[in-house]
Amino acid sequence: MDKYIGTKMIEAKPMSRGEYNKYRGVDIPKEDKCFNDAGYLVKYSDGYESWSPKRQFEEAYRDCMGMSFGIALELLKKGCRVAREGWSGKGMFVVFQKGYPDGIPCNKQTAEAWGMDEGDLFKCNPYLQIRQVDGSHSMWVPSIGDVLAEDWVVVE
């Protein structure tokens, strides 16, 4: 079999197998050897809920507070906004811009900057963009410190 790795954002809370069954309206005797198995109630973005054993859950998921940049990058590609807890600027966050791989007509400023004619197709690859403290936006490349940091968080 091939191996896969997944990245998705879920909601979860600790819940034993017995508590989950009660939550779902299923009666399982407390004497059942699985009743007290530790685990998590998991809720997916489409509203689907399930129960996951503690070990498997903790191997697959991390808290959205204190993520690595790799996980933050995967979430950026899924449309989330992320920021570093260590950033001192209020309101700063990074987003993924899909760019215009098929091109978009140049406005006058872009045409002049690139020696093109206004209306020519301007192709732009995907990039990261940051919202600065003053509300302005810039293309952004992470520093080595950002890439190695473990304090990335999702910004709602």
Q: 79-110, pLDDT tens digit by residue?
A: 999 999 989 888 999 999 999 999 999 999 99
Question: Residue 32 has what pLDDT?
Answer: 74
* Rounded Cα gap, residues 34 and 130, in angstroms: 48
Its domain, for residue 79, covers 65-155
- Per the structure, the count of domains in the chain is 2
Question: Does 5 map to a domain?
Answer: no
Do residues 70 and 37 both lie within one domain?
A: no
* Rounded Cα gap, residues 38 and 17, in angstroms: 7
Do residues 146 and 79 both lie within one domain?
A: yes
Look over the chain and give the mean of its residue pLDDT values, rounded to a whole number.
91
Question: Does 101 map to a domain?
Answer: yes
Segment 11-18 mean pLDDT? 91
Structure tokens at 142: 């992470």
- Angle (CA) 151-58-144 rounded to 5° is 25
Token pair 């017995």 is found at 18
Do residues 79 and 131 both lie within one domain?
A: yes
Check: CB of residue 98 under 8 Å from CB of residue 128.
Answer: no
Question: Does 147 map to a domain?
Answer: yes
Per-residue pLDDT for 29 more than 80?
no
Question: Does 53 map to a domain?
Answer: yes
Do residues 90 and 112 both lie within one domain?
A: yes
pTM: 0.69
Do residues 87 and 127 both lie within one domain?
A: yes
Do residues 56 and 74 both lie within one domain?
A: no
Using alpha carbons, list the distances in angstroms from residue 101 to 114, 121, 124.
17, 10, 6
Question: Does 78 map to a domain?
Answer: yes
Closest listed residue to residue 150, CA positions, set 81, 85, 89: 85
Would you place residue 3 in the very low, low, confident or very high pLDDT band (cuts 50, 70, 90)?
low
Would you place residue 156 in the very low, low, confident or very high pLDDT band (cuts 50, 70, 90)?
confident
Do residues 110 and 133 both lie within one domain?
A: yes
Query: Among 7-11, 66-70, 127-131, which stretch is predicted with the lowest mean pLDDT?
Result: 7-11
Would you place residue 1 in the very low, low, confident or very high pLDDT band (cuts 50, 70, 90)?
confident
Structure tokens at 30: 């407390």
Do residues 99 and 46 both lie within one domain?
A: no
With a pLDDT cut of 70, the percent of the chain lying above it is: 98
Do residues 113 and 56 both lie within one domain?
A: no
Question: Does 3 map to a domain?
Answer: no
> Which neighbouring-strand residues pair with 14?
40
Token pair 């508590």 is found at 19
